[in-house]
Amino acid sequence: MTTAILTDPRYAAHTDPFHVERAERLQAIEQALRVSGLSKDVLALAPRFANRAELAAVHNQTYLDTIQRFCEHGGGQIDLDTYATDASWEAATLAAGAAVRAVESTLSGECNNAFALVRPPGHHATHNRAMGFCLINNIAVAAHHALNQFGLERVAIVDYDVHHGNGTQDIFYRDGNVLFCSTHAAPFYPGTGDSREIGSGDGIGATLNVPLPFGVGDQGYAQVFTELIIPAVRRWKPQMILVSAGYDGHGNDPLGPMALSVTGYAQLTRMLYDLAGELCDGRLLLVLEGGYDLKALGACVVAALQVLLGRDPGPDPIGRYDSPGTTVRSSIASLQQRHPLLAEQ
């Protein structure tokens, strides 16, 4: 089993020391990797830049021109919580390019699975708008690359970041080739991701949103994956599974209201790893999204890489959380009755 990681020191130039989404996030991951000793067991691949055609498959040209010029003129605040610097265009296109390179590596057989450890994150960026710390939608560029350049017909994106991946949903909402599944806290930023948002046109049924009450922990998430996400992806029969790997659902996260542990997150990754083995020769690609408690972030990435290597992630270095009696039963029951990918089984 060959697991690739893709990261680059140039991501650090996109940073704001007063912002939670800053260079220290990837530095914490690198530190955790060093301490874990895992670096020698994974294949380190160099990212490349996503080219204009790859970006334009997802974002409109005017948007790309505007963001590039904004960065070239020194950057600044794009909205209340999204910033850019003079180095952000380079970082953002290198982040998307890392995800593209991971697709190429996985589909060419260079590796079995991969983790793109990138910044800025991507899943809130819509086809024409930067928001939620995101400039370019990295995972959407990667999924389009798998479809356009490798001729895949069906891919699945699973988003376990604590926030709804509104940008990814926006980009693929009418697309019958990409299944987008998201678990997220609700009501919470960015306010989208209602369970009734299921896609439109050719994409009807290819969006599965599982909004969850605050405080859901390992058991609740595992239940949602077992009863909703896994059956839906299985029914979709993807040729590759991509994961918007955000770790802000961890109980220590300063932004997220959930109670996942490192072990709980690793279990979710394990389910997706097993499913990829069952459905698509193990082709599984994780792309980093959120995660703002540096210790939890590093630990979650190390545990995910252990899973990708086919190993047991071992004891939880931080510990488990008691979920405050939050139940996911009603969320599950209503989706099982109404969602096209689940109701007709």
Nearest-CA neighbor of 137 among 145, 128, 125, 154? Answer: 125
Instruction: State how far the Cα of 43 lies from the Cα of 189, in Å rounded to an integer.
Output: 35
Looking at 142-150, 194-202, 288-296, 334-342, which segment touches Zn ion (CB under 5 A)? 288-296
Does position 217 bind Zn ion by CB under 5 A?
A: no
| Interacting residue with Zn ion among 122, 290, 298, 317 (CB under 5 A) | 290
Q: Which of these segments, 18-26, 71-79, 165-173, 245-253, binds Zn ion (CB under 5 A)? A: 245-253
List the catalytic residue out of 123, 124, 164, 184.
124
Q: Using CB under 5 A, count the residues that bind Zn ion.
A: 5
Which three-class secondary structure string do you get for the chain? CCEEEECCHHHHHCCCCCCCCCCHHHHHHHHHHHHHCHHHHCEEECCCCCCHHHHHCCCCHHHHHHHHHHHHCCEEEEECCEEEECCHHHHHHHHHHHHHHHHHHHHHCCCCEEEECCCCCCCCCCCCCCECCECCCHHHHHHHHHHHCCCCCCEEEEECCCCCCHHHHHHHCCCCCEEEEEEEECCCCCCCCCCCCCCCHHHCCCEEEEEECCCCEHHHHHHHHHHHHHHHHHHHCCCEEEEEECCCCECCCCCCCCEECHHHHHHHHHHHHHHHHHHCCCCEEEEECCCCCHHHHHHHHHHHHHHHCCCCCCCCCCCCCCCCCCCCHHHHHHHHHHCHHHHCC
Among 25, 154, 163, 250, binds Zn ion (CB under 5 A): 163
Q: Which is nearer to Zn ion, 162 or 342 (CB)?
A: 162
Report CA-CA distances (Å) from 85 to 79, 92, 111: 13, 11, 33
Q: How far is the CB of 340 from Zn ion (least distance, A)?
A: 27
Looking at beta carbons only, is 68 or 183 nearer to Zn ion? 183
Quote the least distance from Cβ 186 to Zn ion, whole Å: 13
Q: Contact region for Zn ion (CB under 5 A) — 56-64, 239-247, 264-272, 328-336?
A: 239-247
Task: Indicate if 339 belongs to the active site.
Answer: no
Q: Which stretch binds Zn ion (CB under 5 A): 112-120, 160-168, 175-183, 337-345?
A: 160-168
248 is an interface residue for Zn ion by CB under 5 A: yes
Q: How far is the CB of 163 from Zn ion (least distance, A)?
A: 4
The least distance separating Zn ion from the CB of residue 183, rounded to whole angstroms, comes to 11
Does residue 90 belong to the site contacting Zn ion (CB under 5 A)? no
With CB under 5 A as the contact rule, the residue among 8, 21, 161, 175 that binds Zn ion is: 161
The token duo for 257 is 């209201």
Residue nearest to Zn ion (CB): 290
Within 55-84, the residues that bind Zn ion by CB under 5 A are: none
Q: Which is nearer to Zn ion, 101 or 163 (CB)?
A: 163
Q: Which is nearer to Zn ion, 146 or 181 (CB)?
A: 181
Instruction: Note whether 250 binds Zn ion by CB under 5 A.
Output: no
**Distance in angstroms (rounded) separating the CA atoms of residues 315 and 318:** 9
The correct pick among 75, 217, 246, 282 for binding Zn ion (CB under 5 A) is 246
Residue (38 or 142) nearer to Zn ion, CB: 142
Nearer to Zn ion among residue 54 and residue 248 (C-beta): 248
Rule CB under 5 A: is residue 165 a binding residue for Zn ion? no
Catalytic residues: 124
Residues that bind Zn ion (CB under 5 A): 161, 163, 246, 248, 290
